[in-house]
Amino acid sequence: QSALTQPASVSGSPGQSITISCTGTSSDVGAYNFVSWYQRHPGKGPKLLIYHVTDRPSGVSSRFSGSKSGDTASLTISGLQADDEADYYCSSYTSSRTVVFGGGTKLTVL
**Min. distance of Cβ 72 from another protein in angstroms?**
17
**Min. distance of Cβ 96 from another protein in angstroms?**
9
CB-nearer residue toward another protein: 8 or 13:
8
CB-nearer residue toward another protein: 85 or 87:
87
Give residues in contact with another protein (CB under 8 A).
1, 3, 6, 34, 36, 38, 43-48, 51-52, 57, 89, 91, 93, 97-104
One-letter amino acid of 41: H
CA distances from 92 to 33, 36, 63 (A): 8, 6, 22
Sign of CA dihedral 55, 59, 60, 62: positive
In angstroms, the CA 33 to CA 52 distance is 5
**Min. distance of Cβ 78 from another protein in angstroms?**
22
Partnered with residue 90 across adjacent β-strands are: 37
